[in-house]
Amino acid sequence: MSNALEIKHLNKSFGGVKVTQDLSLTVKPGERRLIIGPNGAGKTTLFNQISGELASDSGTIAVFGRDLTKSPAHLRAHVGVSRTYQIITLFPKNTLAHNVALAMLGTSKRKWEALKKLQLNDPIYLRALELLDQVGLKHRADMLISEISYGEQRRVEIALAMSQNPSLLLLDEPLAGLSIDERMIVRDLISAIPKTTTIIMIEHDMDVALSFAETISVLHYGSLIVEGDRDFVVNHPRTREVYLGH
Amino acid sequence: MATDILTLDKVNAHYGDSHVLHDISFSLKQGQLLTLLGRNGAGKTTTMLTLSGLLKASAGKIISNGKEIHKLQPEYIARSGVRLVPQGRRVFANLSVYENLIIAAQKRKITHPWSVERVYELFPQLKDHQHQRAGTLSGGEQQMLVIGRALMGNPDVLLLDEPSEGLAPLIVHEVSKGISKLKEEGLSIILVEQNFSIAMDLADYFVVLNTGYVAYQGESSEVRANSELVTQHLGVF
Amino acid sequence: MKKLAGFLTIIFLISIPFYSGEYYINLASQMLIAAIFASSLNLLVGYGGLTSLGHAVYLGLSAYITAWLITKIGLSHGATAAIALTATTVMGMLFGWIALRATGLGFLMLTLALSQIFWGLAYRWVGMTNGDNGISGITRPMPFDINLDQSNYFYWFVLIIFLTCMLLITRLVHSPFGASICGTRDQAKRMTALGFNVWLIRWITFVLASFFGAVAGLLYVYFHKYIHPTVMSITSSAEALLCVIAGGAGTLTGPIIGAFLVMILKNYVSGYVERWNMLLGAVFVFIVLFMPSGITPWVADKISRLRNTTK
């Protein structure tokens, strides 16, 4: 069984600034990987390269054995890569159900149907309701995204990503801006995701992140400086120096 | 007994037809750090926006240094000494750190006026990057910059809205240290924070909001003795 | 409720020639043609989120090709229509490929540039286009031996095509593909991450817009029986854009209402008010100030508020 994610010697620069420096990373299928590091360490930039929004300068990215390095961004969802964003990028003028339905259309041939109205009792909408139920938002399915709270929007982000049955899920600061009670709801949602989906998460909330992580990679100025299991990384002097404090 | 430097008296606010703040009343004493807690949507940021004049109170009064400020335009409220550091770390991305600070300078009669050098003393990392474009700074440095920028206005009251949001633990620690130093120097501060442990460390006074109402307010000594008081209103643990 | 209103509107539209004078029937034909053109641009601007200042080139190309084939070659109407529509749509494919190398302001400039090239050609290539004199002598088709020179028959001809186009556009906009067009307008980056080929979706939208623009051009040249380069000018494109924005971009009825408004001011009010251009300008300023999303969204909002208060 090939690795869920295999990154070899990845490099990326913006002008003179090296945001990813000779980064190599391997994630096993079903793993729960946490990526931490100071702001500006290149964590989101790494995600952008894995999801294809950003082209790397050199190095390779392979997902479940498939080399995706040169593959266009819109094809990655079809290979099982899904992600959420730090800043919410939902469709504000549409209902929750429509948001999830649109996500499902992304990897379906049905997106090319041009002359038949998408009815509200379409199987896609019914499946969307099921997914919203999983994140506890079925009762809000007909509301517009702009009408629900920020915490609920974060949950819809996760529903969107899960709607495509991803084999590799990238969560970029899924708890950002959430209050304590909301964090717990989202934490439970993430824990409930089956092991058939490999998860890589960027997070600063140490309470949640540490309980989630099996392996932790610490990034600093675009390089991997510490990697290992939870105890190893948390107690490592470099981690404390650069990220956690003493 | 320290005087009240900022008082909210039955303040109400609306977003269109939606009544979001209900009869909010509390006071900030001079030199005190008051923390505003509550779930998302409880009205914390709305309260901050109303205090700074960016949202007009629909009823009630806000009194700063004996003057009613709730009817003033936001620029005048800022100039009168109540400065907001909003969420989101919005620096002037194309200006340097130094330029961001100097642009915000305003002379006011306070005991220890602020200068760029004093801000650098508070946040040494800003000095290291002083000629760098603010848009290229890390999140933590940007947070320090926006606090510094507010300080350059020589405020009497600083309103800090979630300064630790999205920052790495080490940086959160450094920003907290900075806020603590400001408190030591006698600045009066209202702090909105999701991070409960920071709130506990820094706060002298607690105000907990729930769906636009004040659910609880009290001295931190009271809260430390009975932490359940606050957590029951936040619905945690 | 909506269906009833739509049904009544169609009955109303069909009935116009039965009680109106020739002037008004012709005015109604022009309004429907303008509505098709505005709706075609709305696909690109309102649903695709791609603002174009060069849409008149499709109206113009289709009109000129038709004019040329009928007057210079004497080709039959059926063949002419087929060639004009196909050729213009193919140009739309090419222009789309060029213009979509950019987005936003760059896209706007490219669409403008491309239409200006053909506007210039229409003036200069006198051998083909008669330049500033324009091409006259175009005849209207005679489907099933019906004489379309009669204003009422021509009006119903236009109405049938208008209703067909609106049916197709409505179906398109409510389909899964339509949902993906709107998606690329609202969150292009997200759409890419979800697996949509954003460039391809935009390009197809561009081509569809050019096709329906070509249909409008065909009807336009049949109506006027004459074509002149001004039809491809930037003013013409800008006017179409104003129709879409004033009526409500991204709605189905918006561009129709916008087109009706502009046509009434241009062709009817201009008979009574010498400075009708100023009136047009004033109306647009009014709309931007008080109905910034356009007429249709404003009306829809007022109706839903009324419904909410009577609940």
Q: State the fold for domain B4-87+156-234.
A: Rossmann fold (3.40.50)
Q: What is the pLDDT of residue B91?
A: 92
Q: Is residue A60 part of a domain?
A: yes
Q: Is residue A215 part of a domain?
A: yes
Question: What would the pLDDT profile of B143-157 be if each residue is shown by its tens digit?
Answer: 999 999 999 999 999
Out of A146, A164, A182, a domain closes at: A164
Tokens of C130: 């008669």
Q: What is the pLDDT of residue C128?
A: 86
Going residue by residue through chain A, which has 246 residues, state the pLDDT in tens, using 9 for 90 and above. Answer: 789 999 999 999 987 888 999 999 999 999 999 999 987 788 999 999 999 999 999 999 999 999 999 999 999 999 999 999 988 899 999 999 999 999 999 999 999 998 888 888 889 999 999 999 989 899 999 999 988 888 899 999 999 999 999 999 999 999 988 888 888 889 999 999 999 999 999 998 888 888 889 999 999 999 999 999 999 998 999 998 888 876
Tokens of C298: 């404003």
Is there a contact between A112 and C177 if contact means CB atoms under 8 Å apart? yes
Half-sphere exposure of B29 (CA within 13 A, CB side): 10
Is there a contact between A204 and B194 if contact means CB atoms under 8 Å apart? no
How distant is the Cα of A234 from the closest Cα of chain B, in angstroms?
Answer: 12
- C-alpha distances out from residue A157 to A190, A210, C115, Å: 12, 22, 41
Question: What would the pLDDT profile of A150-200 be if each residue is shown by its tens digit?
Answer: 889 999 999 999 999 999 999 999 998 888 888 888 999 999 999 999 999
Out of A107, A134, A164, a domain closes at: A164
Residues in chain C, overall count: 311
Q: CA C11 to CA C3: how far, in whole Å?
A: 12
Judge contact between C134 and C228, C-beta under 8 A.
yes
First to last CA, chain B: 36
Judge contact between B85 and B146, C-beta under 8 A.
yes
Question: What would the pLDDT profile of C129-143 be if each residue is shown by its tens digit?
Answer: 888 999 998 999 988
What is the tally of structural domains in chain A? 2
Tokens of C259: 């087109």
Q: Is residue A34 part of a domain?
A: yes
**Chain B touched by A245 (CB under 8 Å):** yes
Among residues B190, B134, B132, the alpha carbon closest in space to that of B161 is found at: B190
Q: What is the pLDDT of residue B185?
A: 87
Alpha-carbon torsion A140, A143, A145, A147, what sign? negative
A133 and A100: one domain? yes
- How many angstroms from the chain centroid is the CA of residue C48? 15
Tokens of A27: 């994630």
Angle at C148 between CA C142 and CA C151, to 5 degrees: 175
- How many angstroms from the chain centroid is the CA of residue A86? 9
How distant is the Cα of A98 from the closest Cα of chain C, in angstroms?
Answer: 9
Among candidates A92, A103, A114 on the partner chain, residue whose Cβ is nearest the Cβ of C194:
A103
Q: Is residue C57 part of a domain?
A: yes
Q: CA A119 to CA B67: how far, in whole Å?
A: 59
Q: Is residue C293 part of a domain?
A: no
Model confidence at B1, pLDDT cuts 50, 70, 90, reads low
A72 and A14: one domain? yes
pLDDT surpassing 70 at residue C149: yes
A122 and A174: one domain? no
Is there a contact between A38 and B168 if contact means CB atoms under 8 Å apart? yes
- Burial code (b: 16+ CB inside 10 Å, e: under 16) for C77-87 equals beebbebbbeb
Tokens of B215: 């659910």
Is there a contact between A179 and B170 if contact means CB atoms under 8 Å apart? no
Q: Is residue A85 part of a domain?
A: no
Q: What is the pLDDT of residue B237?
A: 38
Q: Is residue C223 part of a domain?
A: yes
Model confidence at B233, pLDDT cuts 50, 70, 90, reads low
Q: CA A36 to CA A213: how far, in whole Å?
A: 11
Half-sphere exposure of C50 (CA within 13 A, CB side): 34
pLDDT surpassing 50 at residue B207: yes
Mean pLDDT for the stretch of residues C187-193: 93
Mean pLDDT for the stretch of residues C230-254: 94
Which has more confidence, B6 or C309? B6
Mean pLDDT for the stretch of residues B70-80: 92
Q: Is the ipTM of this complex over 0.85?
A: yes
Instruction: Tell me which chain A residue has its CA closest to the CA of residue C167.
Output: A115
Alpha-carbon torsion B219, B224, B225, B229, what sign? positive
Out of A126, A147, A164, a domain closes at: A164
Angle at C18 between CA C15 and CA C23, to 5 degrees: 105
- Domain membership of residue C187 as a residue range: 23-232
**Chain B touched by A165 (CB under 8 Å):** no
Q: Is residue C131 part of a domain?
A: yes
Q: What is the pLDDT of residue B110?
A: 84
How distant is the Cα of B200 from the closest Cα of chain A, in angstroms?
Answer: 15
Is there a contact between C193 and A114 if contact means CB atoms under 8 Å apart? no
What is the tally of structural domains in chain C? 1
Mean pLDDT for the stretch of residues C279-293: 91
Whole-number percent of chain B with pLDDT over 70? 96
Model confidence at B235, pLDDT cuts 50, 70, 90, reads low
Which has more confidence, B196 or A11? A11
A124 and A16: one domain? no
Q: Is residue A74 part of a domain?
A: yes
- Domain membership of residue A143 as a residue range: 90-164
A230 and A159: one domain? no
Q: What is the pLDDT of residue A132?
A: 93
**CATH at residue A195:** 3.40.50.300
Burial of A205 (0-12, 13-18, 19+ CB in 10 A): buried
- C-alpha distances out from residue C135 to A200, A222, C124, C129, Å: 66, 66, 13, 7
Q: CA C306 to CA C298: how far, in whole Å?
A: 12
Q: CA A200 to CA C128: how far, in whole Å?
A: 63
Among candidates B38, B137, B168 on the partner chain, residue whose Cβ is nearest the Cβ of A204:
B168
Q: Is residue C3 part of a domain?
A: no
